[in-house]
Structure 1
Amino acid sequence: MTTVPDITLNDGATIPQLGFGVFQIKPEDTARAVLEAFEVGYRHIDTAQMYGNEREVGQAIAESGLPREELFITSKLNNDSHDPAAAREATARSVDALGGPMDLYLVHWPMPAVGDYVQTWHAMEAARDAGQTRSIGVSNFQIPHLERLLAESETVPAVNQIEVHPYLRQDAVRAFNREHGIATQAWSPISQGDVLDDPELLALAGETGRTVAQVVLRWHIQRGDIVFPKSTSPARMAENFDIFDFALTDAQVARVDACNIDRRRGPDPDEMNWIPG
C-alpha cells in the first residue's frame, strides 16, 4: 500500500499529507464513501459540524475495523457556536458523533462581525486540555486574524485550513503560516473542478501521463501543503491517491504557479458571516 507522507505539526502530532474530504457528501452517502476511501488507503478524514455528516463518519470508523490510532480525524466548530458555552456543547456533540476524541479540531470561520474569535479560540484550548481533541487549529483565517490570535493567546494554531488551488495560490497567507510554524491545509484543491479544463494544466497532464487532478494534487504535495480531495467515485478516489510515484520538475511547478489569477470559489473570510439556520 502507498505510504502517504506525514507532516509534523507544531504540537508534535503528525498528520497524513493527503486525506479524504466529505464536504457536500450527503449524510446517507457518507459512511459508504468513507469506507471506500479506507479501502483505497486513505487514513485522514476531514469533516465539519456544518457538513452534517459527522455521525456517518463515526459510523464508518466503527465499521471499518481499523485501529483508531491509524486514523486522523478532523472536524470543525460550527459558525453558530462561537460563544464559549455553545462551543463546549458543540464539541461534546462532535466527540459523541465521531465515537471519540478528534485528532484535529478547527474554528471553521473567523466570523469577525459575529463574535470574538479569540474567546472562541480559548474555548478550543479548553477542548484540547479536556482531551476532546489532540490538536487545534483554524480555518479560513487571514493574516490579521492570525496576528490577533498570536498576540492574545498562548497557543499557536497547529494548522490554518484555507482555500488554495492553482487559481488562488495564497502566497501571503501561506508564507505567514510557514513563518509561525502553522501548517497550511488546502481546501478546494482543484477549485471544485474549475482547473480541469485549463490549457496549461492539460498540457502538463499530457507531458506527465497523468490527469489534471493528479498534476494539481502533486503540485500541492510538493509545495508542502496538506490536501484532502473529495469524491464519491471509488475510481476517482484511487486516482487522487495515486500521486506518489511521480514528481513535477521545478519548471513544471512554476507553470502551475503561473496559473494564479487570485480567484476564489468560496467566500471571502473577511465577509463571511453566515450562520446555518
Structure 2
Amino acid sequence: MSLKKQIPNIITLLNLLCGCIGVLFAVEGNLIMAAVFVGGGIFFDFFDGLAARKLNVQSELGLQLDSLADMVTSGLVPGIAMFKLLQRSFGNTAEASWDGGFFEFDFHPVALIGFVITLASAYRLANFNVDDRQDTSFIGLPTPANALLVLSIPMIITYQQNPLITQVLLNPYFLIGFSVLSAYLLNAELPLFALKFKDWSVKKNALRYSFIAISAILLVLLKYLALPVIMLLYILLSLIFKEQSQSAS
C-alpha cells in the first residue's frame, strides 16, 4: 500500500478525530471548544481534497471516508450544539446521570428538533456522493459551511455580549426556525460555488478571491457576528454569479 495514496486519507482521519473531540465537548455543553475542533476538522477537510488532487490519488475510498468524517464533524456536532442551545433556551441545563430511571429524560423534548440538522446533513452527504452535478460546484449548502453557521450562535453569544442579540439567539422559536432553515439549505436546489482551487490564477478564481477578501474584512469589522453574514453573502454571490459558480470551479 503506497504511503502517497494514504496521505489524503490520513488528513481526512484527522478531520474525523477533530469531530470526535468536538462531540465530547458538545455533549459536555462546552460549545466554544466544540466549535474550535469543528473549525480544525474543516481545515483538514479542505486540505484532504487538495492533497488528493495535487498527488493525483483521488479514489472512491477517499470520497466515502470524507463523507463519513464530515458526518461527525459537520453533522453530529452542530446537531448536538443546537440541542444544547434549545435546552438552554427552555431554561433546562440539567445533565443526565448514569443511574437515571428508564425513559427518564432530563431535557425538554422539543430540544430534539436540533437533531434535524444532523439528519439533514446525513441526507445531504449521501446525496452528494451520488449526484454527479456536484463535481465542480455544490447544490445546497455544504455541511462544513452549515456547521460554521450553527456554531456561530454560541460564539456570538459568548463573545459579542449584546443583550438584545443574545435574547434573540436564545429564543426557542428562533432556534427551531433556524434548525428548520438549516436543514432546508443543506438540501435545497441552490447552486453554490465551491472553494476548490485547481490553480491559483486570479482570472479563473476571481469569485473565490473576492469572497475570501470580503469575508476577511467582515470578520475584522463584525467578529463572530460576521459568520452568518458571510454565509448569506456566500449564497447571494452564488446566485448572482450562477453561471460562473457552475463553470469556473
Query: TM-score category by the smaller chain?
Result: under 0.3
If the length of structure 1 is used for normalisation, what is the TM-score?
Answer: 0.24
TM-score for the superposition, normalised by structure 2: 0.25
Greater fraction helix: 2
